[in-house]
Homo-oligomer: A and B are copies of this chain.
Amino acid sequence: MAVYTDVSDEDIARFVAEYDIGNVISFKGIAEGVENTNFLLQTDQASFILTLYEKRVNPDDLPFYLGLMDHLSAKGLNCPTPIHGRDGVALRRLCGRPAAITSFLNGMSPRRIMPHHCTGLGAALAQLHTAGQDFEMYLGNALSVKGWRPLFESCRADANGVQPGLEKLIEDELVFLEANWPHQLPAGVIHADLFPDNVFFFPGKDDVSGLIDFYFACNDLLAYDIAICMNAWCFEPDNSFNVTKARNLLSSYGKVRALSDDELAALPILARGASLRFLLTRLYDWINTPKDALVTPKNPREYINKLRFHQRIDSAGAYGLGEE
């Protein structure tokens, strides 16, 4: 959520001249997107988003992300559409970084999550999963179960300094998840980072007006994406779980793409995995973010609480749906 790269007015004018989108009239860094630098670019024709991909994004993965947005847009999903230059190329370079212009989406991220937002979210997530089924590229999830142990090893020495007992909590959870992860569930393209920041609504409306920030998208278990959303949308600021929100999310999802019994049964373990994944990356960032960084790291403790909550659940009934 920061401007990591300063793009000069001359650079942007030169860059935009490669496209058929008119002349630049305004260009502002915006507080959107976690890992990249985003600008709101206004030309005499329309508004666009210019993204510069910073070091945490692997440039080799960018064709997947942009290809996915092209694919999903063509399927009618409201997501940023990559704008192609006059030469047909969408992925270019600017200020020494990979860069792309995408369409601008109207709507706003909800700050205070209401149950009706989770209804819209569930439908949009299922539409994304359905629309992604025939996308032909493949990108594995570096932050799924196999990636967690190396991440943990890189910061385990500092874990107890963040909270006493945290090293053992993570170690035990890792052993459990590595032994029990449900690899056989339906898979496909997932968003993998569908936090409220990345979902737009119009005020007072239930339907999602747009999904953004596909830069963690990958191939993984579809229900794992639901578990990530449940963590991001269904806990209150005091860490209590709101079962109404979870029920709305799950039932609305299920109306677009039916969840199998296996998927429902796996939700608690997927939610534990989703908790551990964000606990680990937040722990890593918490330990490794220097004082003068542009971005304030998020506290990992929130995800310790979520993990502990899901450890106590033994069936999806606790999430407001399921076999009970």
The one of B25, B110, B202 that contacts A106, using a Cβ cutoff of 8 Å = B25
User: Taking the complex as formed, is A316 at the interface, i.e. its CB lies under 8 A from any CB of chain B?
Assistant: no
A28 at the interface (CB under 8 A from B): yes
User: What residues of chain B lie closer than 8 Å to A3, measured between beta carbons?
Assistant: 1, 31
Chain A contact residues, majority secondary structure: loop
The stretch among A7-15, A215-223, A304-312 that forms the contact with chain B is A7-15
On whether A31 and B2 interact (CB within 8 A), knowing A107-B26, A108-B26, the answer reads yes
A42 contacts which chain B residues (CB < 8 A)?
47, 106
Residues of B within 8 Å of A32, CB to CB, are 28-29
Contact of A24 among B1, B6, B40, B203 (CB under 8 A): B203
Instruction: Find out whether the CB atom of A110 lies under 8 angstroms from the CB atom of B8.
Output: yes
Q: What residues of B have a CB within 8 angstroms of the CB of A108 in the complex?
A: 9, 12, 24, 26-27
Contact A9 B40 (CB under 8 A): no
Is the CB–CB distance between A8 and B291 below 8 Å? no
What band does the interface of chain A fall in when counting residues whose beta carbon is under 8 Å from B? 35 or more
- Bound CA span A120–B2, Å: 30
Q: For the complex, what is the distance from the CA of A27 to the CA of B40, rounded to whole Å?
A: 11
CA distance A24 to B84 in the complex (A): 29
Instruction: State the Cβ distance, A32 to closest chain B Cβ, in Å.
Output: 6
Whether the Cβ atoms of A111 and B40 lie closer than 8 Å is no
CB <8 Å contact, B24 and A30 = no
Give the nearest-CB partner of A17 in chain B: B203
Contact A201 B9 (CB under 8 A): yes
A169 contacts partner chain B, Cβ-Cβ < 8 Å: no
Residue A240 interfacial (CB < 8 Å)? no
Measured CA separation A303–B52 after assembly (Å): 31
Q: A299: nearest residue on chain B (CB-CB)?
A: B292
- Asked if A45 is an interface residue, CB under 8 A from chain B, the answer is no
Contact with B along A189-205 (1 / 0, CB 8 A): 00000000000011110
Alpha-carbon distance between A24 and B204 when the two chains are bound, in angstroms: 11
A-B interface, 3 closest residue pairs, ranked by CB to CB distance from nearest: A29-B31, A13-B203, A8-B111
A-B contact sample (8 more), CB < 8 A, given A1-B3, A29-B31: A8-B111, A10-B203, A12-B203, A13-B204, A26-B105, A26-B106, A291-B291, A293-B296
List 20 contacting pairs A-B, 8 Å CB cutoff, sorted by A.
A1-B3, A7-B111, A8-B110, A8-B112, A9-B108, A9-B109, A10-B111, A10-B203, A24-B108, A25-B202, A26-B106, A26-B108, A27-B108, A29-B31, A29-B32, A30-B30, A30-B40, A42-B106, A291-B291, A293-B296
